[in-house]
Amino acid sequence: MSQDDDVVKATLPVWVFCQMFGLCFSSTKAIASTKIPSRKRNVGKFVYWFATVSIALHLSFYNFSYELDPSKNVVIQAGDILNGLSSIAATVSSIFTSFLFENRILTVMKDLCEVNDKLKKYPKSISYKGIKKFAYAEIIYLLNSWIYFLISYVITCPSNLAECLGSWYLMYTITKIFDVNLARFISHMSIVYKQLCTLNSNILHLSEERYVISLNLPKERYKIDALENFKEIYSEILRIGEEINYVHSFSLLLIIANQFISIFSSLYFCFFGYYINGNYIKPNSLSTLLVPLMSLIHPGGQLLAIAIVCQLTISESKQTGKIIYRIPINRNARTLMQRINLFSLHIMHKQFDITACGFFSINCALLLMVGIDPPIY
């Protein structure tokens, strides 16, 4: 198996990052394993997750200040507290999601690999080269943001260097674990999108084949069998997409809430100033503007990525219903016509959507909430 068509290799960068930040106990070898986890491994897994949650909560609640100082700007302090609490909530939800649904995440990866093997049997090949590059881009984006935060903290913080590093490590590392969880969700949903694209390409290939006027039973039988297989693969891909959404649904709700809080509070900080380790910073130069500006760009970029990936996946799933009617059929090929109609009805009744705990759909309509016009599909 080449690396370009390997699901595990395509998501490996994000998988490694999840292990580094306490969001994944198992290695990629567990995807191909059929062994039942031993009791010793389950105990080790519990200790691993308990230590991760304990460290995150301890550093968050015992190092943040959640009291309002009347001598300081109350609005700025409230924005900091709200941002900090939403970050902690998103982080803890991401850790618990990984702990509670680790086996389901592994099952999702196994199912994606099985669908990948089924798609390889058809003429239009599948390649995850772009997905792998996108996964690396996600990691680089996270690292780049953290480096910028570190530099801007050191530049603007008037206290000693140790306090600045401690504050940066706490706010932009411990409480940004959910960034890695979000990268995993986007990476997995990108695989679903790519498999839908490959499925639709193979249906188009089936429709482009020349069909003779006289009834050709072997060719008709081939198309009927292919349609049945495509219908099965389509249902399996959507089921996997729904499973990915279910696993990450609650953490997505808190992550997106934190992103909006960060965006709007950072806009306020850009104009009216902010606090670092209790010291007021007025953004009157580029160096002092870096912290709120990066706090605005970082969640904005993530929100843009998740909205576009989810919108593309939903749109591609609906595109299948339009493509199957391009398959040429003979007037006498009633069985083939019936299978096409059944496939179309199946797609119409299959309402695939990506939501955050059912509160709202995750698509480009989210961008309207920050004043950006979404693209029309």
* Integer Cα distance of 325 and 204 in angstroms: 10
Nearest-angstrom CA–CA distance, 308 and 298: 16
What is the model's pLDDT at position 296? 86
DSSP assigned state of 128: -
> Of how many residues is the chain composed?
377
Tell me: the pLDDT tens digits for 139-180?
888 888 777 777 777 776 666 677 677 767 766 777 678 888
Residue spans of alpha helices (H) in the chain:
7-20, 29-32, 39-61, 74-100, 102-119, 129-156, 161-172, 177-208, 217-272, 286-323, 334-349
Query: How much is the pLDDT for 126?
Result: 81
Distance of CA 35 to the CA centre of its chain: 28
If pLDDT is split at 50, 70 and 90, which confidence band does 73 have? confident
Give the pLDDT of residue 42. 64
User: Model confidence over 86-125: pLDDT tens digits?
Assistant: 888 888 888 888 888 888 888 888 899 899 888 888 887 7
Put residue 64 in one of left, alpha, beta given phi > 0 → left and psi -120 to 50 → alpha: beta
- The SS3 assignment for 281 reads strand
| Residue whose tokens read 């595990």 | 8
How is residue 377 annotated by DSSP? -
- Kindly state the percentage of the chain with pLDDT values over 70: 74
**Count of alpha carbons within 13 angstroms of residue 195, beta-carbon side:** 30
d(CA 156, CA 231): 58
Average pLDDT over residues 31-53: 64
Q: pLDDT value at position 192? A: 93
Amino acid at 335: T
**Considering the chain, what is the average pLDDT of its residues?**
78
pTM of the model: 0.83
Is 191 or 154 the better-scoring residue by pLDDT? 191
Cβ atoms < 10 Å from Cβ of 359: 11
pLDDT for residue 105:
87
Confidence grade of residue 246 (pLDDT, cut at 50, 70, 90):
very high
pLDDT at 63: 57
Average pLDDT for 131-141: 85
Residues 259 and 299 sit within 8 Å (Cβ to Cβ): yes
Percent share of the chain, pLDDT over 90: 12
CA distance 366 to 257: 11
pLDDT (0 to 100) of residue 240: 93
Mark residue 357 as left, alpha or beta (left: phi above 0; alpha: psi -120 to 50; beta: remaining). left
- Average pLDDT of the segment spanning 227-246: 90
Distance CA(27)–CA(174), nearest Å, equals 22
The whole-number pLDDT of residue 101 equals 86
d(CA 340, CA 322): 11
Enter the DSSP assignment of 118: H
Q: Locate 15 and state its tokens.
A: 């998988």
Backbone CA torsion sign across 368, 248, 185, 254:
positive
For residue range 197-220, list pLDDT tens digits in order: 999 888 888 776 554 434 444 566
**Of 50-54, 84-88, 258-262, 289-293, which has the strongest mean pLDDT?**
258-262
Q: What is the pLDDT of residue 47?
A: 74
For residue 290, pLDDT over 70 is answered with: yes
* 184 close to 23: Cβ distance less than 8 angstroms: yes
Q: How far apart are CA 225 and CA 168, in angstroms?
A: 58
Which of these ranges, 118-122, 157-161, 255-259, 296-300, has the smallest mean pLDDT? 157-161
**Main-chain phi, psi angles of 45, to 5 degrees:** -65, -45
pLDDT of residue 310: 92
147 vs 266, higher pLDDT: 266
Cα separation, 364 vs 377, in Å, equals 10
Half-sphere CA count of 211, side-chain side, radius 13 A: 22
Q: Any idea where the domains of the chain sit in the sequence?
A: 3-370
Distance between CA atoms of 211 and 218, rounded to whole angstroms? 11
Phi, psi of 361 (to 5 degrees): -80, 145
Say how far apart CA 316 and CA 90 lie, in whole Å.
Answer: 29
Average pLDDT of 261-283?
83
Question: What residue type is 288 in one-letter code?
Answer: T
Residue 27 phi/psi, 5-degree rounding, is -90, 175
Phi, psi of 32 (to 5 degrees): -90, -5
Rounded to whole angstroms, how far apart are CA atoms 331 and 280?
A: 77
Which of 372 and 325 is assigned the larger pLDDT? Answer: 325
